[in-house]
Structure 1
Amino acid sequence: MTECNGLPLTFSSLGRRKIRADFDGGWLTSDAGSALLREVDGRIGLIDAMAACIPDPRQAAKITHDLRTMLAQRVLANAATWRPK
Structure 2
Amino acid sequence: MALNFPNQSRSFDPGRQSVRFTGYDGVFEISIFVQVDALRTMTEKPMSDETLFLAAFDGMRDTLEGHARKAYSRRRGATLILTAADIS
TM-score by length of 1: 0.29
Higher strand share: 2
Decide which structure has the larger Cα Rg and report it: 1
More contact order relative to length (CA 8 Å, sep ≥ 6): 2
